[in-house]
């Protein structure tokens, strides 16, 4: 399949180094401590954060820091043919990965003996699901007021022939490798990196560099939304 046309545009009209439109919202629900909704193109996810709260099973409790748990699920019609189970081995693996990422981003020692639960629901999947989940979780954690080292932003990139391609759709992941990077933009640190297929050594660096550029753009978008939310909230509170 032709990912990039000879005219230099992708199937959906983007240039190779262009992100899909990102839109997000904080604070959708009242019951969870924090919640967020995020769209990266047609990949749409909801995230809710409960906690810090009491540890459910006492055996898991850690006295000097908090326990982080994540549960990811997909709705049946999120992509193409119906998924049988909302949770399967794949989502379990991804849940573990997300909780692992936030192990490194949440200041765990601030919440000793307690637990933070992250629930992520994928409403629509069109490539870059993992990234969208991480980004939405970050927003929900921010909304919940959990202390973080930095924003955790995530973005995908791939290689098509000799051109690196940013933020791939599902259609574009069919050929080529999808590299997902989670990144701390202010600290300029990579917190997690994952490839779906083997990627040749020579191609690795340009793809990673592009993904990092993408992460910075994602960060700008998210930060803008957080600031707007805070201003809104401030306005409401001062009005009261």
Partner 1 sequence: MGLQERKQKIFYRKTKKGNILKIVREHYLRDDVWCGLDGCGACEGDKRPLDMLTTSDSTLMTEPHHLIIDTNVALHQIDVLSHDSITNVIILQTVITEVKHRSLPVYKRLRDLLDTHNKKFYVFTNEHHSDCYVEREEKESVNDRNDRAIRIATWWYKHHFRMNNQNVVLITNDIDNRDKARQLEVEAYTMHEYISSLQNAPGLLDIVAQVEEEKEEDVTYQGYIFPSHWSMEKIKLSLKSGKLYQGVFKTSRNNFLEANVMIEGFDKPVLIQGRLNINRALHDDVVAVQIFPKEQWSAPSAVVIDQEKQEAETGGNDDEKADEEAMKKEQELLAAGKGDGECQPTGCVVGVIRRKWRQFCGIIRKNEITDSTRHLFIPADKKIPFIRIETRQAESLYNKRLIVAIDSWPRNSRNPKGHFVRVIGTIGDKDAENEVILLEHDCPHTKFSESVLNCLPKLPWVITEKDEDEREDLRHIDVCSVDPIGCTDIDDALHCRLLPSGNYEVGVHIADVSHFIRPGTALDKEAQNRSTTVYLTNRRIDMVPDLLSSNLCSLRGSVDRFAFSVIWEMTPQAEVLSARFCKSIIKSRGELSYEQAQQRIDDPAMKDDLTESLRNLNMLAKQIKTKRIENGALVLASMEVKFHIDPDNDTVIDIVAKQHLETMSMVEEFMLLANVTAAETTLQHFPDCALLRRHPAPPPSNFEPLLAAAKSQNITLDVSSNKTLANSLNKSTREDNPFFNSMLRIMTTRCMMQAVYFCSGTLEPEEYSHYGLATPTYTHFTSPIRRYADIIVHRLLAVIIEAERTYPELLDPKKLSDLSQHINYRHKMAQYAGRGSSEITAIASLKGKVSEFMSYVLFLHKNAIQVLVPTIGQQLTLYLDNRHKRKEEKQAPKQEAMDVDEVPAPEFEFNEKELYVQCGELIIRPFDELRVQASVDASDVQHQRVVCRLVEPVIPGFSVPPLEKGSKQADKDEKQKDKPVEGPKDEKTAVALQVSEEKETKKKRETKDKERKKKKMKK
Under rule CB under 8 A, residue 195 binds partner 1: no
3-state secondary structure of 207: helix
Q: Which residues contact 240 (CB under 8 A, 6 or more apart)?
A: none
Q: Which of 194, 200, 121, 163 is nearest to 14 (CA)?
A: 163
Decide whether 63 or 80 has the Cβ nearer to partner 1: 80
Under rule CB under 8 A, residue 143 binds partner 1: no
Under rule CB under 8 A, residue 9 binds partner 1: yes
Q: Which residues contact 36 (CB under 8 A, 6 or more apart)?
A: 24, 25, 26, 27, 28, 46, 47, 136, 137, 139, 140, 142, 143
The tokens for 60 are 């898991």
The tokens for 185 are 């933009």
3-state secondary structure of 94: helix
Under rule CB under 8 A, residue 74 binds partner 1: no
Looking only at residues 76 through 115 of this chain, which bind partner 1 when binding is defined by CB under 8 A?
80-81
Decide whether 16 or 32 has the Cβ nearer to partner 1: 16
Under rule CB under 8 A, residue 1 binds partner 1: no
Q: Residues 155-174 vs partner 1: string with x where CB under 8 A? A: ----x--x------x-x---
Under rule CB under 8 A, residue 13 binds partner 1: yes
Under rule CB under 8 A, residue 11 binds partner 1: yes
The span from the CA of 137 to the CA of 102, in Å, is: 9
Q: Please work out the total of residues on this chain that contact partner 1, with binding judged by CB under 8 A.
A: 26
Under rule CB under 8 A, residue 16 binds partner 1: no
**Contacting positions for partner 1 (CB under 8 A):** 5-7, 9, 11-15, 18, 20-21, 41-42, 80-81, 126, 159, 162, 169, 171, 198, 200-203
């Amino acid at each position: 399949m032709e990912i990039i046309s000879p005219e230099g545009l992708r199937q959906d009209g983007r240039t190779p180094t262009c992100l899909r439109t990102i839109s997000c919202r904080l604070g959708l629900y009242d019951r969870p401590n924090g919640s967020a909704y995020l769209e990266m193109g047609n990949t749409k996810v909801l995230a809710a954060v409960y906690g810090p709260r009491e540890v459910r099973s006492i055996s898991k409790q850690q006295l000097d820091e908090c326990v982080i748990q994540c549960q990811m699920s997909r709705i049946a019609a999120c992509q193409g043919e119906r998924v049988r189970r909302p949770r399967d081995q794949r989502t379990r693996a991804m849940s573990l990965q997300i909780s692992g990422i936030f192990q490194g981003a949440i200041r765990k020692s601030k919440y000793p003996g307690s637990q933070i639960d992250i629930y992520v629901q994928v409403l629509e999947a069109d490539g870059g699901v993992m990234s969208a989940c991480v980004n939405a979780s970050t927003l929900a954690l921010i909304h919940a007021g959990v202390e973080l080292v930095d924003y955790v932003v995530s973005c995908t990139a791939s290689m098509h022939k000799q051109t690196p391609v940013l933020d791939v759709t599902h259609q574009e992941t069919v050929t080529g490798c999808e590299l997902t990077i989670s990144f701390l933009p202010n600290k300029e640190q990579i917190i997690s990196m994952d490839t779906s297929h083997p990627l040749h050594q020579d191609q690795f660096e340009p793809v990673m560099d592009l993904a990092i550029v993408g992460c910075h753009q994602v960060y700008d978008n998210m930060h803008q939304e957080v600031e707007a939310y805070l201003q809104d909230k401030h306005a409401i509170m001062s009005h009261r």
